Every structure is written in structure tokens, then in C-alpha cells.
Chain A
Amino acid sequence: MIREFSLNDLVFMLEALRWTVGLAIIATIGGGALGIIVAVLRVVAFKPANWLAIGYINLVQGTPLLGQLFVFFFGLPLFGIQVDAWVAASLSLSIYASAFFGEIWRGSLQSVSQRQWEAGAALGLNYWQRLTHVVLPQALRISIAPTVGFLVQLVKNTSLAALIGFIELTRASQIITAATFAPLPVYTTAAALYFIICFSLSQFSQRLERRFHVTR
């Protein structure tokens, strides 16, 4: 039974888009929280912490996201830990994001000039005050563009969740294509939807950069 690409299909795709966006948001929050820890472990003056963070980053960045997804979805049940697709996808995307966020934020932190630390010190600010009031606000500003750049990747990478049963945007498109044999309009629509999300993200990033005032 071949049918036309219809409004119903579009609705189906928009519903699937909710999972795409939902997963991306969860991974951003989870990965963000973990990423802060990774970045801090990476820069503190305590070598074992640095090694731990570097090992973690290499492990996560050096293995495919799909593999990580399978480890959580198929691997954990082998140890008697039952996980549903949501938990597996959220966990693996968060961990994946945390390694990248960690590196992006470490880079941003370290790109704030040593002189800014010194200027804070010379005014009698303690280490924590220098970090939170002088260095972090500047690092945050520097990190906006690369962070949002990675978010765009993350949105696209949520499509891997299809492989453990999520009917997110890419999977929905496949299903509709199978029914309509009209790949061109279906995938054009999907691409447009991805584009709208990613374009809005980069617009948002530019607005944010302007809001944070200084852009050097």
C-alpha cells in the first residue's frame, strides 16, 4: 500500500521531533552538569584528578556514540540492571556531551588571561572570588559559540537513539518514507526541521554573545 506524503505524516514528524528536542535538552542538562565537573577536574592543581578527567574525555571522545548507547541499552541488562530506552539514551547522550562540554569549558577557562587572575589577586580577592567573579564570567562568554556549536551536533546525534527504538525525527522519516516511497519530500521536511532548530540555536548564541557585552 503506497500512499501520498500527507499532513498526517507531517504531524507524525512533528511529534517525533519532540523526542529529538527532548533528548537534546536532557543531554544538555545532564552533560552540562557533568561537564562542569569534568572541566574542574581537568584544571585543578591535583594531578590524579587531571589524569582521571583526561582518561574520561579520551574514553568518551574516542569511542563511537552508538557504542556507548548500546553499552547502556544492551550491556547493563547483562548485569541485571534493567534500563529502558529513555534512561539508556539520556545517560549515554549526557556522558557523550559531558566530555565535549568539559573540554570546551576547560579551553574557555584557560583562555582567560593569567593577568586577569593576577589583577584579582592584586585587589585581595581570594582564589574562589577570582574564579567566580573574574574568570568564570569571561570564560562563559568565550564558551558561548563553541558550546552552541556542539549543541547543534548533539541535536543531530540524537538520531542515533532510533537504533534502540526511539521514534525521533530521523526514524519517523524512515517510517514515512517506507510507506510513501517519497523520500525527497520527507527528508527535505526532516532536514528543514533540523535546520530550524539548529539555526535558532545559532541565532540565540549570537544574541547571547551580544548581551554579554564584550565580545573580544
Chain B
Amino acid sequence: MSLVELTDIHKSFGSVEVLKGISMTMEQGEIVAIIGRSGSGKSTLLRCINGLESVQSGRIQVAGIEATKPGADLNALRQRAGMVFQSYNLFPHLSVERNVMLALRLVQKMSVDEARELAHAMVAKVGLAEKLAAYPDELSGGQQQRVAIARSLAMQPTLMLFDEITSALDPELVGEVLKVLEGVAREGMTMMLVTHEMNFAKNVADRVIFMHEGRIHEDGPARETLLEPRTEELRSFLSAVLH
């Protein structure tokens, strides 16, 4: 059994079909970059994988949990598939330390000391040890996004989903977040990331999936797919984002 298995996923918002039959599998340790035009369904795909959106038909299996079964334990699934959003979504009323500790305490039932220790380690890992007591509004966008990554990693997920996590950042802050991502990748984390950073996709991802109009249009090894696109759609997409 693969870590992620999607079988003929169909997803509509009202009468608009956004995912038109997505099938794919993903193995432990793989790093998959998802690229494609705005509106091609990239975010929706990620959100379906961790159950933030429900699908009309198809089968989703993630880390041994059938998300599409009625009554599936989505909260358990989400502990195994962490997600980081474009807009960071830190909890504004909690300090950095508490942001990271919250789910450890509530979901993983850790003691305060255990949770704090892990939170400190994770925040240090993203290079923000001196910001533990700070509140989100006292941090730059890049710092907030690094905390969001730490918060998700602290749950020790099997798989991480990243949805354009550098897109809301000022250009000079993108680098620090990508560096953290590279670190996470080096440690062997299984990752699926929607990104517009083609160089990052080429250098860090093993595999690239190009989404086009709600379908997987190309799927292959990262360098090869990006350097030698097979379809006209991917070629024109790449020339649009690279120039």
C-alpha cells in the first residue's frame, strides 16, 4: 500500500467541477511538487487529501486512513498529514511557544513539560529560538511561516502538505522559508508542495505533477519534466512563469 492513494477523485463546487478524475499514488519519502495555473485545482487537491474538502466521488487513502469512508477519523488523518497554508494562519492570541504547544497538549495529550520541550526544539530548528515568547503580530511574514512549519512538524506527521507557502511573502523573505523547507526535505520528510518556485521544484522535488484544468496533465521526475515538458500546455505554462 502506498502512503497516499487517490483513485478517480471528482470534486465540484456547486455546478463547477474543479477536480475531474484525479488518480495518483505517492510513496513514503517522496517529495512531489505540484505546479499549474491559477484555478487548476492545486489547492483543492491538497485540501481533499487532508479532508478539509469532501469529494463527490473517488477514493482517498492517506497513511492507512480511508478519508472517503463515511465516518472516517479525519482528525487522526490530519495528525498524519500536516498542512501549512499560504497565509500562515498562526493563532494570533498565542505566543510562538503556545502556538506550537497547543495541538501537542490537546491532541497528543503531552504534558506541559514534554510539549514545551518539543516546541522549543522545533522552533529552534526553524531558527527562531529567540522568538518563543513573541506573538505572531510581532513577527515578519517569513518568520510567521517558519513558525507555522514548526507547529506542523511538531506533530510528527508522516506527510507534509504545503500550499504555496511562500506566495504571500515579500520577495526578500522567500529565501529563509525555502531554506527551512530544504532542511525538512533533507531529513527525509515525505512532502507534497504546491509551488510557483520552479527552481526549488527542480532542485528539491523528486517528482513534478502538472495540473491543468482539474486533471493531472503531466507527472514525472522533477528535472526531466521541467526541462523537457512533453505537452504543449506545460511548455507554455513554464515559459509563462519563467519569463
Contact = CB atoms under 8 A, between A and B. Distances in A.
B83 to A, nearest CB: 4
Contacts of A141: 93
A214 B78 contact: no
B91 A116 contact: yes
B92 A124 contact: no
B24 to A, nearest CB: 21
Q: Which of B74, B78, B136 has the most CB of A within 10 A?
A: B78
A126 to B, nearest CB: 5
Interface stretch (B2-10, B99-107, B207-215): B99-107
Given A121-B74, A122-B152, A123-B102, 18 more contacts: A115-B85, A115-B89, A116-B89, A116-B91, A118-B89, A119-B89, A122-B52, A123-B103, A123-B107, A124-B76, A124-B78, A138-B91, A138-B93, A214-B92, A214-B135, A214-B136, A214-B137, A216-B92
A122 B91 CA distance: 13
Q: Which 10 A-B pairs have the closest CB atoms?
A: A119-B89, A123-B103, A124-B79, A122-B83, A124-B107, A124-B78, A214-B92, A124-B75, A137-B93, A115-B89
Interface of B: 50, 52, 74-76, 78-79, 82-83, 85, 87, 89-93, 102-103, 106-107, 135-137, 151-152, 155
B188 to A, nearest CB: 22
10 contacts: A118-B52, A122-B85, A123-B155, A124-B78, A124-B155, A125-B75, A125-B107, A137-B93, A213-B135, A214-B93
A73 B165 CA distance: 61
Given A124-B79, A125-B106, A119 B91 contact: yes
A133 interface: yes
A123 B85 CA distance: 12
Interface residues of A, number: 21
Contacts of A118: 52, 85, 89
A204 interface: no
A138 B91 CA distance: 9
B85 A119 contact: yes
Contact of B102 (A121, A122, A133, A212): A133
A213 B50 CA distance: 32
Contacts of B155: 123-124
Interface string A184-216: 000000000000000000000000000011101
A216 B138 CA distance: 12
Interface string A101-139: 000000000000001101111111110010001100110
A120 B85 CA distance: 12
Given A118-B85, A213-B135, A216-B137, A125 B91 contact: no
A54 to B, nearest CB: 26
A30 to B, nearest CB: 28
B50 A122 contact: yes
